[in-house]
Amino acid sequence: MYPASVTVFMKKLKIISPYSLAIIFIFFFSLLYTFFYINHKPVSKYSLKDNTVAGYVYDCQNSEDKTVLKIKGKENLLINYYDHFECKLGQRIKAIGEMKEPKNNTNFYLFNYKKYLLSEKINYAFTASNIEVINNHQPVLYKIKNILNEHIKNYKSKAYLNALVLGNDNDINEDIEESYQTNGISHLLAISGAQITLFSTALLYVFNKIFSKNTSYVITITFLLIYLFITNFSASVLRATIFFIILTINKQFELKINTLSLLILTASLLLIINPYYIYSLGFTLSFTVSFYLLLFKDIISKYKNYFSKTLVISLIAFFASTPIIINSFFKLNLLSPLINMYFVPIMTFIIYPIALITFIFKPLDLIFLNLVTVMENASIKLSSINFLNLSLCHLGIFIFIIYYVVITLILYKWLKGKNYILILFLILIFHHNINYLNPASSLTMLDIGQGDSFLIKLKHNKGNILIDTGGIANYDDKKPYDIAGNITIPYLQAEGINHLDYLIITHGDFDHIGMAINLINNFKVENVIFNIGQYNDLEQNLIKTLKQKNIPYYQNINKINLENSKLEFLNYKEYDNENDNSNIIYIVINNTKLLFMGDAGAEVEEDLLKEYNLKDIDILKVGHHGSKTSSSKKFINSINPKYSIISVGENNSYGHPSKETLKNLKKSNIYRTDLDGGVKFTFTKKLQIKIAVERS
């Protein structure tokens, strides 16, 4: 006799079909396989010693001053060529240059370029100094792709035709794309399962008029596989295609496997094909949302009215994607369910079908362009409704899991007739204000290359101060890299910060002030502090922007009083150069003494020693990126820093930090952005230090 519990379990096991048991086994195998695969360094057929590579071009992005190629050589490879190169897909090229290993993100929480490339099975990036075509013969499928690309070149709506038909959204305007992201509808620019379903249904309808049912399915699947090639095997199209094939097999052979199990099988197969898909936002979002919609389809089925049903679908999709969206973009629009309710049907049943027809019949180009222009304008206006856009700090893995447990429980209660969905909105609002409960202040040295940018975040949301913005200057009239948009603002949002109480500019050099206007135009700043001395051109341009936005600014102040903290500005003497006129900032946080030296040199250090009793500094922001003109032996020995932090670009042309400075600092613990990436100090009872990059 078996115990009752075992008997019940065995009866339930008999209910589960052999196919479902096989899917469960494949699923757990795929998870284990993925875990072990991604935790081992990828084995590449290339090495860093390779200076010549060759292969077939399978993707090409051109601009006047840069060409980005993806080739199939020994394996997939990314090639950056800083010039214009007219390329055709399928042609064989040879490139001479330098092989580089892509970097992990060097700032906490932000976009990881290396993982993104790995999700496309690319292990290395190659910087080419020369490219030549060695074989211009293109295989048939590549010829088809080139014909399609040439076909839409002269379309006024080519950006959207590229995105919705060919799976390439690189031509969408950045501001428009940002509005889609803010509204939570950027997923509409990717070819989705709904669109593939629409496409395949239309094909089946046509082929069923001509061929037998089985032949129609075979031809449709063949078309989908060709389409998969045309869209470069993007994760969303690959998911939809494999899912369609599995659904077809299930239907044709009457296997009677439920749709949810088939979705799990599809995800498992994709992870076995490429475990790095786990890093693909398109993969994780599409499967998570699809899983929850299928899991709670009975909630959806309760609503018969079209608008009610659409709203319910939007709400389930919104909450299912919320933790992933938070950890990817650190912000969320509470209007997103309503916006999706409006945009998804329009995109699925109007924009996408018209895109397909326009792709074939060019005379519809202007009509389609007007349609997407209306959609763009609506998106921009909706994204400007700021009071419902929440900044939400990054979720650790434990909180991430709890989020999903809570979401699942509340949806389960809804399934049982108890609608507690409002609780989820209240949790998001609580999360938005979580910094008021934060018991510890912190200092973060951001890795912004050759320049300075430091964030001081005081406990219980008592103050957020950014010292300098960084800025990498281009001396050939090219647009400088947007540090504010790509690093500073995303990091502030990842910390749950929605405004800066103070932006302090230590001095007017570009590597300290260069991103200030970008930052102020895209993030709320309450006050700006300048250093002593005459305003240079960069500072005057910033002041014009401050006046336009009615942001108060100050110069040559003595101190800033904050609750439980005080920033003192030590440099009140005017020198004959911008570096020495830097704001010198002294602050004590939780009995930890911090000193920020800007770019001040040895003369200023000498004057500080005469004027102030600076002893046993805990954290020193080393002056002038570790230049030999700063951090004199006398000054360092006098202030005796415990930790020295140096913001410096990797392999910079200035030779920073100098060997002499490093020698002077040898008694302290040195942290450098070129070696450690971003560095975060958290001021608890015991100082906690976290670095973004482990030194090799």
The CATH number of the domain holding residue 644 is: 3.60.15.10
**What distance in Å separates the CA atoms of residue 642 and residue 648, rounded to the nearest whole number?**
19
**What distance in Å separates the CA atoms of residue 37 and residue 29, rounded to the nearest whole number?**
12
User: 320 and 406: one domain?
Assistant: yes
Local confidence band at 3 (pLDDT 50, 70, 90 cut-offs): low
Give the pLDDT score at 192.
77
Give the pLDDT score at 334.
94
User: 353 and 485: one domain?
Assistant: no
Give the pLDDT score at 118.
93
User: 364 and 492: one domain?
Assistant: no
Give the pLDDT score at 475.
47
pLDDT score of 6 more than 80? no
Give CA separation, 22 vs 25, 295, 602, in Å: 5, 20, 72
Among residues 430, 446, 470, the one where a domain terminates is 430
Half-sphere exposure at residue 659, Cβ-oriented, CA atoms within 13 angstroms: 0
Angle of CA points 263, 268, 269, to nearest 5°: 100
Give the pLDDT score at 12.
44
Predicted TM-score (pTM) of the model is 0.91
**What distance in Å separates the CA atoms of residue 538 and residue 411, rounded to the nearest whole number?**
53
**What distance in Å separates the CA atoms of residue 177 and residue 185, rounded to the nearest whole number?**
9
- Give the containing element (helix H, strand E) for 520: helix 516-522
Question: What is the pairing mode between strands 528-530 and 553-555?
Answer: parallel
**What distance in Å separates the CA atoms of residue 324 and residue 285, rounded to the nearest whole number?**
7
| Chain segment 672-691, per-residue pLDDT in tens | 999 999 999 999 989 999 99
User: 412 and 498: one domain?
Assistant: no
Give the pLDDT score at 8.
47
Mean pLDDT of 34-58: 93
Local confidence band at 473 (pLDDT 50, 70, 90 cut-offs): low
| 8 Å CB contact between 226 and 141 | yes
User: 589 and 447: one domain?
Assistant: yes
Whether 151 maps to a domain, the answer reads no
Local confidence band at 452 (pLDDT 50, 70, 90 cut-offs): very high
Mean pLDDT of 398-403: 96
511-542: b or e for each residue (b if 16 or more CB lie within 10 Å)? bbbbbbbbbbeebebebbbbbbbeeeebbeeb
Mean pLDDT of 493-514: 96
Residue 50: CB atoms within 10 A of its CB come to 17
User: 292 and 314: one domain?
Assistant: yes
Least confident of 295-309, 423-437, 477-491: 477-491
Give the pLDDT score at 193.
78
Give the pLDDT score at 641.
97
Mean pLDDT of 351-366: 94
Whether 7 maps to a domain, the answer reads no
Average pLDDT, the chain: 92
Whether 386 maps to a domain, the answer reads yes
Give the pLDDT score at 619.
98
Mean pLDDT of 222-236: 88
**What distance in Å separates the CA atoms of residue 658 and residue 667, rounded to the nearest whole number?**
16
Whether 30 maps to a domain, the answer reads no
User: 562 and 659: one domain?
Assistant: yes
pLDDT score of 197 more than 90? no
Whether 190 maps to a domain, the answer reads yes
User: 426 and 443: one domain?
Assistant: no
Give me the CATH number covering residue 54.
2.40.50.140
Local confidence band at 474 (pLDDT 50, 70, 90 cut-offs): low
Local confidence band at 13 (pLDDT 50, 70, 90 cut-offs): very low
Least confident of 200-209, 392-401, 560-569: 560-569
pLDDT score of 637 more than 80? yes
User: 524 and 541: one domain?
Assistant: yes
Mean pLDDT of 332-341: 94
- Rounded to 5 degrees, φ, ψ at 331 are -155, 160
Whether 145 maps to a domain, the answer reads no
| 8 Å CB contact between 519 and 488 | yes
User: 562 and 654: one domain?
Assistant: yes
User: 340 and 408: one domain?
Assistant: yes
Give the pLDDT score at 78.
97
pLDDT score of 505 more than 60? yes
User: 423 and 498: one domain?
Assistant: no
Among residues 381, 399, 430, the one where a domain terminates is 430
| Chain segment 578-613, per-residue pLDDT in tens | 999 999 999 999 999 999 999 999 999 999 999 999
Total number of domains constituting the chain: 3
Give the pLDDT score at 615.
93
Residue 53: which domain range? 49-109+132-140
Query: Which residues fall within 8 angstroms of residue 243, CB to CB, at 6 or more apart?
Result: 193, 262, 263, 266
Whether 1 maps to a domain, the answer reads no
Least confident of 274-278, 288-292, 475-479: 475-479
pLDDT score of 36 more than 50? yes
Mean pLDDT of 246-255: 89
Whether 212 maps to a domain, the answer reads yes
